[in-house]
Each structure stands twice: as structure tokens, then as C-alpha cells.
Structure 1
Amino acid sequence: MQVRFTAKGMPLAVRHDGRVWAVAAQPVHWFSRDSWWDTRRTAPVGVGNVVDVEHWRVQVRLGSSISALRTFELRREPLSEQWFLTSITDN
């Protein structure tokens, strides 16, 4: 899965399952904490933030169509560039 962002860091589109889903409404952004004591994730001193998990909830539709909106919840683990799709719901 790939997420494309605007210059200001807002999600613009999501490529999932071979399709491009355009963000069609104001996304919701938040952070949660990684339970590092369970994952035993370690990092060298000065490497950066190793506990904040980034989340986005975006309402999307296929390309520039008028298809029904779907809600994707996205997650990115600390120190990772990879985005994961945690849920999809139909609106």
C-alpha cells in the first residue's frame, strides 16, 4: 500500500489493491503510543522517535469518480516509512 501526501503533509490518495483511492473529505490525524515493553523494540541513542504510532482516518473514493465513500484507517509504526491499512468501512 502507498499513500501520497500534499506538500503540507495531508493525505491526497491511497493506492490499495491495485487501485487509486482519492481522499474526498477532511482526514483525521492522531498519534498513539507503541507498547515498546511488549515489542522489545530498541533503538540507538539519538535515532529519533521510537514510540509514536501515526494514524490517519481518510474518506476515499475511486479516482475522480462519484463512487461511494469508504473509510480507510492507516497506521505507520515508529521508524518506518511503510503505511498499513488497519481497517476499511463502507459509509
Structure 2
Amino acid sequence: MTATLSETTLNAPVDVRFTAAGTPLAVRYDGRVWAVAAEPLHWFTRDSWWETRRTAARGSGDLVSIEHWRIQVRLGTSTSALRTFHLRRDPLSQQWVLESITDS
């Protein structure tokens, strides 16, 4: 028998609470608070600015760095099964987006 992962693509806006060190602590999604239960993974990718044709005034900031976090979470303080959230924040945005959820 082969185990398969179930992944749901959402692109839903979420609220993320961070520790003082800047790592995710909890995510509010769909009226529930999901607590981070394992060490998160953090990285950046680059926006394809030549396709989006975004322009900006000199000195307006970083227009190409897309921030990502992959976190394992569970509901509140429960012992529910872990789920993996992929969070994304686009350049110059303050809004985090829950890109996908994977059952892990």
C-alpha cells in the first residue's frame, strides 16, 4: 500500500503571528488558529518582473523578492495530525497568502 499526500491549493489571505526572532508562531486561517509545531523552512524566490512589467520609482524598495515559509502546524494546542502550510508574501505586500496545504 502506498501513502499519498493530499494537497490543496488555496491562495487565501491569512494572518501570521511571528516570534520576536521573526519566525512564524501561529496562523489564523478559516476562523481557526494553527500553531507551528516544528522548525519552519524559510526561503526567497524572485518575481519575473519582465513578465509583470511592474515599474517603480528609484528607491521604492525590493520589487522582486517573494518570501516563502513552509511550516508544519496543528490546531491550537491539540494533538491533531500535522499539516504543512506553504505561506507566501509578494514584494511590497504586507499580506501573507496561504498558497497550499498538504496533509503530512
User: TM-score when scaled to structure 2?
Assistant: 0.86
Greater RCO, 1 or 2 (C-alpha within 8 Å, sep 6+): 2
- Segments of structure 1 that go 5 or more residues without pairing to the other structure are none
After TM superposition, the runs of 4+ consecutive aligned structure 1 residues lying more than 3 A away are: none
Unaligned 5+ runs, structure 2: 1-13
Task: Tell me how far 1:40 sits from its aligned partner.
Answer: 1.3
What's the TM-score once normalised by structure 1's chain length? 0.98
Q: Which has the larger radius of gyration?
A: 2
Counterpart position of 1:62: 75
| Residues matched between the structures, number | 91
Name the structure 2 match of 1:17. Answer: 30
- 2:5 matched residue in structure 1: none
AA partner of residue 5 (structure 1):
F
Residue 88 of structure 2 corresponds to residue 41 of structure 1: no
Separation in structure 1 between the aligned mates of residue 56 and residue 16 of structure 2, nearest angstrom: 26
Work out which of the residue numbers 20, 29, 33 in structure 2 matches 1:7: 20
Task: Give the RMSD, CA atoms, in angstroms.
Answer: 0.6
Identity %: 73
